[in-house]
Amino acid sequence: MPIIRTWQLVAGATAVGLALATGAAALAGPWESGRRAAERVRAAELEYGTGTDHRAGAPGPGRPAPAPSAPGVLSALGGRTGTAPSDAKPGELDEELAALLGAPALGPLRSASVVDTATGRQLYGTDAARPMTPASTIKIATTVAALHALGPDHRIPTAVTAAGDRLTLVGGGDASLTRAGLRTLAERTARALRDRAIQSGAAPSVRLAYDTSLYEGTTRHPIGRNGNLAPVTPLMVDVGRRDPATTGPADRSDDPAGDAARLFAGMLEDEGVRVAAGPAPGRAAEDSRPLAKVLSRPLSSLVEQTLTESDNDLAEALARQTALACGEPASFTGSERAVRDRLAALDLPVAGARFADGSGLDRRDRLSARLLTGLLARAAEPARPGLRSVLTGLPVAGFTGTLQSRYSATTPGSGLIRAKTGTLTGIGSLSGTVVAPDGRLLAFAFLAGNTASREGAQSALDRLAGALAS
């Protein structure tokens, strides 16, 4: 077998199979000057920008039709030739996957689905309609629903309003807000106050409140206090991490909204604004006027971060944004109804599904393998470029996110598989896309329950996905 070089793996990962599956123009999503729009915007706006909450709408009609399936151009990456699912003998794919799915490490509960994204045809299925606990693969459903409800260009505001000398920091649900973004808001607020002080002749001195009324219900996830998730509030900085440099499970604030407001007060003081009282919780006054705001990155960028990093806080925030867009309360129950409604509107098989949360930490969640592959197939449709960041946000096997350490350069599928992982005690799942040896883009979902070993289940799931690429 030829040595697989890093540049070859990167090339395979970058392709994502999108161009090979249905044509470069059709599946690459919105591009501008040779670069995907979401990436261009994110690079250009490292600091929070001004503007409205929505950018220009999606491109109009006249998108190109899907191109024919590409020939087998991936043999240089180590894949075998002439044995793709479309060329295999009847039952060959079934036999290979059935043998791998029978691994004892996957436990007694197993479900699988493999589909061709270009045609929607199911190539393999075992109990594909059975609802199972998906763990973090539910984030695929959460992000598809958010994009369908809001569009890829939606941005989430964090604002400051003023009524006399009373300022209110209003949380809009941006879980991606950082200290740098909050400082930008403080600078803009101080500038506006100085302008007002020049007109009135008074030095800036304010009382500060913070408003978290956008969300309803409990702020605590059913799992309780946990390093994987901060209390769910519409106002937080650095997803509630006490140390913003940490990754993965970490010490979280018990009061992320109050901590954000206190941090903001200190930043105002740094800008020469005297905070005479507060911060204290409270709604913005009815006669308040907008004073300053910052906006999150576009939703497409937040979706990519949610999936690549398996960010639980962002997932819960996106579920609540979906609820708000659908006229539901921004709560766990309201989010569940909204996500289900959005997916049903996409004509996806939601019977038996349960969206108890947006992150997958709740064991009451239920998804089928068929629903997961259906979600990915929808995101690959040429007519739905607004969903494309679901595919581009999936971790790349051996290179990014939660799949970076699970594949080596010699592991089948490294650089060709993009997939969302899911792990809870006794639960393992893997769902994503893979470039088959004939160039087609396949969507897959493998779920396992009552597993005995996390590592054993992960290895067995990785072998299933790798079999589709080799």
Q: Which positions are annotated as active-site residues?
A: 136, 139, 310
Task: Give the whole-angstrom CA distance, residue 322 versus residue 34.
Answer: 31
Task: Give the whole-angstrom CA distance, residue 431 versus residue 135.
Answer: 11
With tokens 């399936």, the residue in question is: 69
Q: Which of 416, 314, 284, 433 is nearest to 373 (CA)?
A: 433
Task: Give the whole-angstrom CA distance, residue 398 versus residue 408.
Answer: 6
Element housing 391 (H / E): helix 389-392
- Pairing relationship of beta strands 205-211 and 274-281 according to DSSP bridges: parallel
Q: Which of 61, 14, 34, 58 is nearest to 147 (CA)?
A: 58
Q: DSSP class of residue 241?
A: B
Task: Give the whole-angstrom CA distance, residue 308 versus residue 298.
Answer: 16
Task: Give the whole-angstrom CA distance, residue 323 versus residue 384.
Answer: 21
Q: Which two tokens stand for residue 311?
A: 């960010």
Q: Which of 387, 306, 393, 295 is nearest to 45 (CA)?
A: 295
Provide Rg for the chain, Cα atoms: 24
Q: DSSP class of residue 117?
A: T
**N residues, the chain:** 470
CA distances from 229 to 112, 242, 321, 377 (A): 29, 12, 17, 29
With tokens 């697989």, the residue in question is: 4
Phi, psi of 423 (to 5 degrees): -145, 125
Q: Which of 470, 451, 429 is nearest to 112 (CA)?
A: 429
| Inter-residue contact 431 to 90 (CB < 8 Å) | no
Task: Give the whole-angstrom CA distance, residue 143 versus residue 391.
Answer: 10
325 contacts: CB under 8 Å, gap ≥ 6: 149, 150, 338
Q: DSSP class of residue 72?
A: -
Q: Which of 455, 286, 368, 330 is nearest to 112 (CA)?
A: 368
